[in-house]
Amino acid sequence: MGARIAVLVSGGGTNLQALLDDPAVSSSIAVVLSDRPGVRALDRATERGVDTVVVEPAAFADREAYTVAVRDALLERGVEIAVNAGYMRVLTGTFASAFEGRWLNVHPALLPAFPGAHAVADALAWGVKVTGVTVHLVDEEVDHGPIVEQEAIRVRDDDDRDSLEARVHEVEHRLLPAAVRALIEGRLLVEGRTVRVREGT
């Protein structure tokens, strides 16, 4: 059992499933937190015997109050590492400070290109020939922190959002568990914006 991990979700949870299916990661997942009740990701966690918690933004006065509630829910459970896996809420710097250097996000584009919630559609609309997937450490700015892993995906002439998104998901499901393993195992060396990933033993 390694560091206690919380996975933050909002929807179907295919990236969560990739983490649950990775033996080096799954034993460390202590809780799955969602901003919405009834989503498939919560069922995936329950099916694996992982505790779940729902913290809904509507119950709080503002983003800061919501952020504090999410932070406290994780700290109360002894969480050391947070991983966004399709989590569609922007938390404030309060959370970034609590989990500095220990909070990962997966993004469906090659940051700094196409930040935000519609990266696949934005890449298609821009007509790029290459997009990809980024896993990065999260800081107080959106889709901004130091980059841990990236992999490029060629955009085909006949791609639509569904076809491109399917290939993006395939890469996400490999890159995110690999980055989480490296973080758990202390193999991320962060110097400013540069992250070096030491090879595993």
Both tokens assigned to 79: 């969480």
107 part of the active site: yes
**Which of 96, 123, 128 lies closest to 108 in space, CA to CA?**
123
Question: Do 134 and 106 form a contact (C-beta atoms < 8 A)?
Answer: yes
Helix residue ranges per DSSP H, the chain: 14-20, 23-26, 40-47, 63-75, 93-98, 119-126, 161-184
Catalytic residue among 107, 118, 144, 169: 107
Please return the burial class of 196, using the count of CB atoms within 10 Å of its CB with bins 0-12, 13-18 and 19+: exposed
Task: Measure CA of the first residue to CA of the last residue in the chain; give whole Å.
Answer: 17
- C-alpha distances in angstroms, 17 versus 7, 14, 111, 162, 173? 11, 5, 24, 20, 8
Q: Could you tell me which residues come within 8 angstroms of residue 130 by beta carbon, excluding any fewer than 6 positions away?
A: 110, 152, 153, 154, 155
Residues with a known catalytic role: 107
